[in-house]
A = this chain, B = another copy of it.
Amino acid sequence: MLSKEQTQQTAEGIPVGVSNRHIHLSAEHIEALFGKGHALTPLKNLKQVGEFAAKETVTLVGPKGVIQGVRVLGPVRKFTQVEISRTDGFSLGVVPPLRDSGNLENTPGIVIVGSRGAVTLTKGVICAARHIHMGEEDACKFQVADGDHVAVKINGPRGGTLDNVLVRVKPNFLLELHIDTDEANAAGLKNGDTVSLDLRVN
């Protein structure tokens, strides 16, 4: 049993970024969906430097349902990656495996429809595993390294602890916990809320 002091032993606030369903596209797929020579139009910069929400959206068509207005995020990626929640998966009739970004082996595909064409993706649909972006200074402060898994403490009526949170360290990363909409809704979190590392178990 822990003392009250021990259970409250947490580190400094980490801002939360809630990832709604979205898609990263390869150059080839941008052309197939939006037309030859098309380039993504930035709509809004995301917190991580160089990342942006594009004006373009796609429709996802699964065996059981359709989700329209799925935001394309830029810049262009080497491989197309569809990030949806488990709830979205039930609507579409696809079970997205929990994966770190870029780990797309043995993941399901889906049909993607853009304004000028469609792509039958054979793999690339995932439920993104939660992770914390941080720069090297923060990694030093929190005493963690790239690739570590940590636990995160959430306060509030739907509070608790999230285990197995991947730490991703790069010099230009800004401190941000990325969770999906299921995790945000389940925990009562929204963009800009803050959480802490749970030092009891890290």
* Interface positions of A (Cβ within 8 A of B): 1-2, 6-7, 85-87, 98, 129-130, 151, 157-164, 180-183, 185-188, 199-201
Contact = CB atoms under 8 A, between A and B. Distances in A.
B86 A185 contact: yes
Given A157-B98, A159-B163, A160-B151, A181 B87 contact: yes
B186 A185 contact: yes
Nearest to A20: B90
A161 B161 contact: yes
A158 B165 CA distance: 9
A5 B160 CA distance: 20
Given A187-B186, A200-B1, A157 B164 contact: yes
Contacts of A130: 158
Nearest to A202: B1
Contact of A160 (B98, B163, B182, B188): B163
B160 A87 contact: no
Contacts of A162: 158, 160
A159 B185 CA distance: 16
Contacts of A187: 186
B188 A186 contact: no
A199 B160 contact: no
Contact of A200 (B2, B87, B163, B199): B2
B87 A185 contact: yes
Contact of A186 (B7, B159, B183): B183
A129 B151 contact: no
Sorted nearest first, the 6 A-B pairs with minimum C-beta distance are A186-B186, A86-B185, A161-B161, A182-B185, A182-B186, A183-B186
